[in-house]
Structure 1
């Protein structure tokens, strides 16, 4: 590696760190004398062209994001450049002379409480900036926080967002919460990691003792037990630290701003206590005159005003919303609005809660009010767009998404929302264009790939659809929906064995994936694998006894191997759950027909037609019965109606079948029209 210049300019000076798939070096830029930079080499786990293509897009996106963060904040390590060479990825970062935080903590000596609070406040201020820009650090630990030599400020370095493009997960698991280790990092995953750092610092732990900290858990709650009588920490700080490291991320602080607020209130409280002590002393020394003097002094030294009740209610509402308590959140936001009618954020959030409860009219009204109060709030237009979408006002939704995009052209979610709406307006070209824009802005946007793939499959662009589903699986191998959708596409391509594998993968990831069982069962049935198909249909009914399609499909399966009685039992079950299920009547009619009960078959087909007057299959099948009983005129009328409906739907083969039946009836005597043919079936 030292034998050539990386990117034609960087010469390695020394190795800083070596890991399985990453190497870190101190390098110099040969075009800048006496320069020093940190260069990180990332080795992809595979040289598969499709995988590399996806990784390349992700790498560029994450590196660009990190580059912007460093440019906008002085306490974030700057990313100088990034490049690819020989199918390996590189990032070049600012070299920061100074000492890692490991030299201040993890030295076996506890920090004082005031030292720890000062440390936390400075780091949290940086995290607020990072999180507001939609980024999670993912690798908060003392080694990644540098005390800069030039100004003694803390600098956040070595974000995990770039490294996790190449490798899944962070190696230093002692700082990583459960949701992140399971591939679902949240903003408060960084808060958890910082909380572990803080607890280790106040306890005076050493580096090799951190791993044991997470093992000290309450047997009932799973929460970390760390405080004892030997650790000098106030109850209020202990409460803050405990909330930072809650096992369940929903019970943890949701935002860095919340931790900052509590820490600042804690320091203000201590300041108030100090003033109260001064007041007592002055009263003893100066009597009434001292009181007057103290009144002036207290006014002069008064700490910042506490956060308003409206703000507190708003934050309570946010916390309840994040915990899924939407009705309670609405109550808090409503009170916040009553106290501060200009609170656009409260209207916006209350609208989100109404949306989650399915009250789209109120959600739309709240988003509209948020827009009135802040016409530059792109997110309010985005939220109103979704409410309008649910209300069926697709053109109005398009207008809102478009306005949101004008205000923020780099937000992938705005393009995604508009793409979904274009589908409703049957403008598939624009929908694909918007999903593609969302992916261009956010190359790891799996939902955008998924929706584009579904649309491409429906448009019979099957190879392109499979590429989209492959991309989702490449980004997240545990996305059950991507396997399921790829399975549907494989079936359309007549690749049934491949489809079975995809449905099986979807089921392994989500053992209650009913649709995957249903479609796999259908393939097994088509292939004559009677036992396997039956097991899949039975499994669905174990999961949900009221899933009508499972009865319909199992009935069709039983019908296929001559178990007409069993098929009728299944259709009866389906009709008990929904007496207006036309497909169940049609299919039960087929079973009766095969058993020779033409009267019952005729009644079922007629019932199916009564429910759906355009039911082509039922007309065709009733035509068969009428032909068998010698009702030539009625049979011809039914086949003509079926033919017309088949033609309208573009079903050429069925149209030909109906025309053939008409011709046979018109050219033969009534008693010779009966033929040993089965009725046409339908799957729900």
Structure 2
């Protein structure tokens, strides 16, 4: 055998791994030029002829199974072929361009909950097919999960079934459960390993740190202790992961479908959650005193004194814990109160509030429903359920509940406000403004209602009226940073840059950690040519929150504007480390590469943006620019046409005309005027 060829036609391009039990090669099939594959060499433990004959049958059987499995799901690495040479066994696998998950799970940089849920869902769907086919992966870990470059989907690679059959060994992994280490492999051993990957992602732990985590176990139960006071995780998601990584495989999820079913019940945490939670706290206070009074009166009429006293004690303990922010503790006390009296509508109501604060909106909705069932005249329960429905994206149901609350109490400004928020989400702008206005009429100093009406009016291009609303908030409460910020946004849209600067500065003076105010002020400084001030604002943001992606994007644009293309590339690359699918980072980094003359890198970035979102008009436009420079006239025209169509659909008239002009120039073969052909691509901020 030629030392550079395997099976006579796989030319070795690179040795990827040189292990004692076999090598891993990157190869090219000379019969299929430009076709690259991974070849794994598996060395049997001995060369006894009888043993080799047995291994031959086993190898063929296992490899054939993997070959068929690869055809069943697009996110499973395909086994292309298998062969034997010189008493060595080889499998040829699909080469998947992309990056392993180890590139995304970085020390001290946790992934967001929604990213982890998506990760789990994608791999679990793959495991459903794998397990149904009778195959256990055996080695799930970040290095064996590849984010495919072409479509950004997660692909499961390096199945251990053939390796184990030939080498007769199992490579110990930090992610493996105890039964697998002891040779008692189960289907849900894969579920355990995937749960450990999820924990690593949520905590920002690289593989080398997982061993330490595996040692942090409860001495009585043996379960991993992975949650701490600094890690805020949705209670339902944490419960799912805990069940995935149970020490005893019999207490774990048995099937991947079970995990998927539970994940589907979780509502992803919205970026606006904290803002909504703050609103909720302010809005629910109005009904608490009335509800407590009514509830206590009802208990006194219904319950024997000893039971009534116990109820009141437990309820008050729960109430105290709720006010302290100990929502889980509050739920435990409300649970006990409900056990003593299953008809206790008030306890259901407050327990629902606690669940709401923990982000468990489904349970909050269920508790409010039970409170309504027990007391259909409780306006506050309808109000609470309306907020739960809103967080679940069920705005129609939310509006119905707020309407019922208003019927029961027509003077409730907060119910009108809540319905206004839900109507805003439902695009009923007229109804929303009417509700905010009614809330203001009932409560003339209701600053949140003025603020939301102002934001909505700005969206409707009623900018003068919007500024009047923000002015009113500031008059009522001169320390309301949000009002200055929102007025600054409106001033900026009106091209009143210096007025906007003052408003953003006032917002920052009130709240020195107001990231969005720094960002917008930095942008205005940049537009005005104030290089130092803009740079300082972006720097301050990243000191407050090193993971705030927009700061890297906007600072990159700022650096680009004064010719610091390398600095801009650094910022866009930093943004992509935090979000591998960030379109603005790819588009803008492509522009910076183009300015540096690196057309290949620019083209790759524009193409990646298109792969992520086929309707990204800017990426097509920018790639059209690069193809024009590369003298690829047909490709450039095709890209500009696609960009023009998308710009037109999106109402971007100026950009549409730019694309049409480029098409006309290319089709007429005329030399462009110096100001006609863009020197670089279009910038994208969001």
Same fold (TM over 0.5): yes
Contact 2:321–2:327 under 8 Å retained in 1: yes
Partner of 1:463: 464
User: 1:419 maps to which residue?
Assistant: 420
**TM-fit CA distance, 1:391:** 1.0
Root-mean-square deviation (Å): 2.7
The 8 Å contact of residues 630 and 671 in structure 1, kept in 2 or not, is answered as no
Aligned residue number for residue 359 of structure 2: 358
CA contact (8 A) 2:451 2:483 kept: yes
Aligned to 1:682: 684
Contact 1:630 1:670 in 2 (8 A): no
Shift of 1:431: 0.3
Q: Distance in 1 between matches of 2:573 and 2:402?
A: 47
Q: Deviations over 1:153-183 (max 9, x none)?
A: xxxxxxxxxxxxxxxxxxxxxxxxxxxxxxx
Once the two structures are TM-superposed, the CA of residue 485 in structure 1 deviates from its matched residue by 0.1
User: Could you say which residue in structure 1 is the equivalent of 2:42?
Assistant: none
Gaps of 5+ in 2: 1-281, 283-287, 294-303
Note if contact 2:292-2:346 (Cα within 8 Å) is conserved in structure 1. no
Deviation at 1:669, TM superposition (A): 6.6
Contact 1:627 1:670 in 2 (8 A): no
Q: How does 1:259-298 map to 2 (within 5 A)?
A: none
**Shift of the alpha carbon at 1:308?**
1.9
Q: Give the Cα–Cα distance (whole angstroms) in 2 for the partners of residues 666 and 612 of structure 1.
A: 27
| TM-score (norm. length: structure 2) | 0.55
Match of residue 9 from structure 1: none
Matched-pair contact (CA < 8 Å) for 1:326–1:354:
yes
| 1:352–1:363 contact (8 Å) kept in structure 2 | yes
Partner of 2:662: helix, strand, or coil?
helix
Deviation by residue 1:555-601 (Cα, 9 ceiling, x = unmatched):
00000000001100111111111111111010000001111111111
Q: Which residue of 1 aligns with 2:193?
A: none
Alignment of 1:29-68 (within 5 A): none
| 2:665/2:671 contact within 8 Å kept | no
SS in 1 for 2:405: helix
Counterparts in 2 of 1:564 and 1:354: CA distance versus 1, 3 Å: same
In structure 2, the CA distance between the partners of 1:538 and 1:680, relative to structure 1 (3 Å rule), is: same
User: Which whole-Å CA distance do the structure 1 matches of 2:678 and 2:621 have between them?
Assistant: 14
Deviations 1:181-202 (A, max 9, x none): xxxxx9xxxxxxxxxxxxxxxx
Deviation (angstroms), 1:315: 1.1
The residue that corresponds to 1:375 in the other structure is 376
How far off its partner does 1:675 sit?
Answer: 3.9
Shift, 1:510, TM fit: 0.3
Residue 582 of structure 1 corresponds to 583
Distance in 2 of aligned mates of 1:313 and 1:607:
57
Alignment of 1:380-529 (within 5 A): 380-529=381-530
TM-score (norm 1): 0.55
1:534 deviation in Å? 0.3
Is 2:353 aligned against 1:349? no
CA separation of 1:355/1:669 partners in 2, compared to 1, >3 Å: closer, same or farther?
A: same
Give the equivalent residue in structure 2 for 1:619. Answer: 620
Q: Could you report, residue by residue, the CA deviation over 1:614-640 in whole angstroms, capped at 9, with x for unpaired residues?
A: 111110000000011111111011000
2:602 corresponds to: 601
Distance, in Å, in 2 between the alignment partners of 1:653 and 1:539 is 34
Secondary structure at the residue paired with 1:341?
coil
Q: Deviations over 1:275-305 (max 9, x none)?
A: xxxxxxxxxxxxxxxxxxxxxxxxxxxx986
Q: Alignment length, in residue pairs?
A: 394
- Report which of the two structures shows the higher radius of gyration computed on alpha carbons: 1
2:662·2:677 contact (CA, 8 Å) conserved in 1? Answer: no
Q: Cα gap change, 1:403/1:571 in structure 2, threshold over 3 Å: closer, same or farther? A: same
Offset at 1:424? Answer: 1.0
Q: Is the 8 A contact 2:307 2:340 kept in 1?
A: no
Give the aligned partner of residue 308 of structure 1: 309
Determine the C-alpha separation between the residues in 1 that align with 2:493 and 2:678: 30
Sort the Cα spacing of 1:410 and 1:255 in 2 relative to 1 into closer, same or farther, 3 A. Answer: closer
Q: In 2, Cα distance between the equivalents of 1:679 and 1:649? A: 18
Give the match's secondary structure for 1:308: helix
Is the alpha carbon distance of 1:482 and 1:665 closer, same or farther for their aligned partners in structure 2, counting shifts above 3 Å? Answer: same
Deviates more, 1:667-676 or 1:493-502: 667-676
Residue 683 of structure 1: SS of its match in structure 2? coil
Is contact 1:628–1:675 with CA below 8 Å preserved after alignment? no
- Partners of 1:574 and 1:661 in 2: CA distance: 31
3-state SS of 2:359 partner = coil
Question: What is the Cα deviation at residue 415 of structure 1?
Answer: 0.3
